[in-house]
Amino acid sequence: MTAQKPPLDLNADLGEGYGAWAMGEDEAMLEVVTTANIACGGHAGDPGTMRAACRAAAARGTAITAHVSYPDLAGFGRRFLDIAPADLTDLVIVQVGALQAMARTEGASVRGVKPHGALYTALAHHAAQAGAVVRALTQLGGLPLVAAPGAVVVDAARTAGIEVVLEGFADRAYLPDGTLAPRSAPGAVLTEPAQVAAQALSIATEGGVRTAEGARVELPVRSLCLHGDTPGAVELARAVRTRLEEAGVRLEAAL
């Protein structure tokens, strides 16, 4: 008998508004995904947007992770900041703590932490910042981490006894070394539903993708990200979910 593949999580970055400014269609995305990565004040998000996102996720039973970032509202967290490790630890704790408080008010909880943008990228190679984030997770009681395969933070977290959920991206192009193509590069963000759904299916059923250069990138992941700010995000998410369900892929939160 063939062993059944483990379920796959679909996650999306949500709650990325600030004040009167809104980004994305959170309500529609929550009809599709199984985990909501909610911004908590670093790159986006304020008390009102955090509460609204937690309330909407709780109403659907969608898992919540804290989408922590460098303190960079102006740059949407997509610029590297050379922050002292001790300061980065405190920033992560403050952001997660704020979202935990809002989630509790809506009858939910924060199940893990997913770094955003430039911080996520830095944790692939920056040992000092990886250590700072792992210290924060440890001091928060051992919250799980969502990270990219091969990132230095993965080994650091596992050494500290932190659960790690490995993640791939359905709507981003990969380079031959397994990292994401920079957003400034042509074709880095995938916006065609059929292409995004095909990449999601390849990751889910074949454990990897082919790059534009023809290289094979292995992605042994438990979760797939669909960015809420990608053009046509809701259409892309629906196309991915439909394609995966048609292929018999079980979908449920990883945490």
CB 247 within 8 A of CB 240: no
Phi-psi domain of 13 (left: phi exceeds 0; alpha: psi -120 through 50; beta: other)? beta
The phi and psi torsions of 10 (rounded to 5 degrees) equal -110, 120
Contact yes or no for 136/89 (Cβ under 8 A): yes
Residues 178-212 have pLDDT tens digits of 999 998 899 999 999 999 999 999 999 999 999 88
pLDDT of residue 229: 85
> Residues 157, 145: contact at Cβ < 8 Å?
yes
Name the class of domain 9-246. alpha beta
Q: Enumerate the β-bridge partners of residue 175.
A: none
Three-state DSSP class for 241? helix
Instruction: State residue 2's pLDDT score.
Output: 46
Domain ranges of the chain: 9-246
Closest CA to 41 of 17, 24, 21, 65: 17
Q: What is the pTM of this model?
A: 0.94
Which element (helix H / strand E) includes 93?
Answer: helix 85-105
Report H helices in 161-232.
Answer: 193-206
Query: pLDDT under 70 in the chain at which residues?
Result: 1-4
pLDDT score at 231: 85
pLDDT for 4 = 65
Closest CA to 162 of 193, 188, 139, 128: 139
* pLDDT given at position 3: 53
What is the pLDDT, as a whole number, of residue 21?
85
